[in-house]
Amino acid sequence: MASDHRLGALRAFDDTKAGVKGLVDAGTTAVPAIFHHAPESLNDAPHHHDHQFAIPVIDLAGLATPSERASLVGAVKAAAETVGFFQVVNHGVPEAAMSAMLAALRNFMEEPAEAKAPYYTREPGRRVKYQSNFDLFQSPAANWRDTLFIEMSPEPPAPEEIPQACRAIAPEFAALVRRLGSTLFGLLSEAMGLRQGHLEEDAACLEGLSLACHYYPACPEPHLTLGTTKHSDPSFLTVLLQDAVGGLQVLVDDEKQRPAWVDVPAVTGALVVNVGDYLQIMSNDRFKSVEHRVVAKSAGPRVSVACFFRTGGSTRVLAPIVADGGEARYRNTTVDEMVRHYRARGLDGASSLEHVRI
């Protein structure tokens, strides 16, 4: 596609304010060219079905018992240092709240296009934004998904800013996830050999929380596109609520140190947790912010809510915590610099960490 022709097609799609759901509702049977990903990016690593690469499931039920807490710290440490992903059960977020959040998101996304259009925006300052592809005009190819972004803290939006379908549940769900975040940052602090409150209190990792509520319609030609391009997260930590459709994959090294895609299965009642770029910088590469993607599927829609723990202040300095005798692997940077770098590039399949690596 010639660049000017592509730009015209991107603008025409964006101007509908109806997203990918609008294409599906219009009866699209072919994926438009703006969504076509290069074959080499779709098939950049083999897909492993081997159970030995399963993403660990960690049961948080034993948190209150000191002896069990020590083993939980060990389990979280092992997961954060290797695959960078784990699932948690008995995490304190009631199943009813999880189901209600997914149902509310689905209800909003399945409203008529004209009902959603007032929320459709690319204004960076808006705390609530409905849009298709935050990087629509930057990335090499668009992804087959629509998103409702809600910045929940440190400054929550006014209730009327949140779509009616999500108005009651989104703040409640965010508060529950924030409580879980406090638990997780405590375990991760101890896993780094620091006091339990370090990441939450000293490093302010719990200050900022934003929800990216994704809707992936069933795709007529899933072999041509992706739900989400390969990327790592611009966050300290991400907690993901996903439905049973599946499609999330993590890039891990197999037994021969070759990268391979591994599925993150939908575990009933579980939440998926992954280390973000900011925590990899702060841990000086001990914890891994691993690349992941969502494949497009002919089944659907898939709905998920990614809860990003970021920071309240963009001037917040990210500095590696270096163990005795070690050397910093990253230069000091700010959240603002990382976010600007991430947004300018869009999801192009490259890691933002290389931008600050020494």
Handedness of CA 135, 225, 107, 235 (dihedral sign): negative
- Residues 108-123 have a mean pLDDT of 96
- What are the tens digits of pLDDT across the range 211-226? 999 999 999 999 999 9
Q: How many domains does the chain have?
A: 1
The whole-angstrom separation of Cα 150 and Cα 213 is 8
Instruction: Give domain status of residue 287, yes or no.
Output: yes
Instruction: Give domain status of residue 5, yes or no.
Output: no
Instruction: Give domain status of residue 253, yes or no.
Output: yes
For tokens 């800013």, what's the residue? 161
Instruction: Give domain status of residue 8, yes or no.
Output: no
Instruction: Give domain status of residue 2, yes or no.
Output: no
Q: DSSP secondary-structure letter at 243?
A: -
Instruction: Give domain status of residue 10, yes or no.
Output: no
Output the furthest CA–CA distance in the chain (Å, rounded). Answer: 63
Q: Is 78 exposed, middle or buried (0-12, 13-18, 19+ CB in 10 A)?
A: middle
Q: What's the domain range around 40? A: 15-355
Banded pLDDT at 343 (limits 50, 70, 90): confident
Instruction: Give domain status of residue 9, yes or no.
Output: no
Alpha-carbon Rg for the chain in angstroms:
20
| φ/ψ bin of 330: left (φ > 0), alpha (ψ from -120 to 50), beta (otherwise) | beta
CATH for 315 = 2.60.120.330
The per-residue pLDDT for 54 is 77
Banded pLDDT at 38 (limits 50, 70, 90): very high
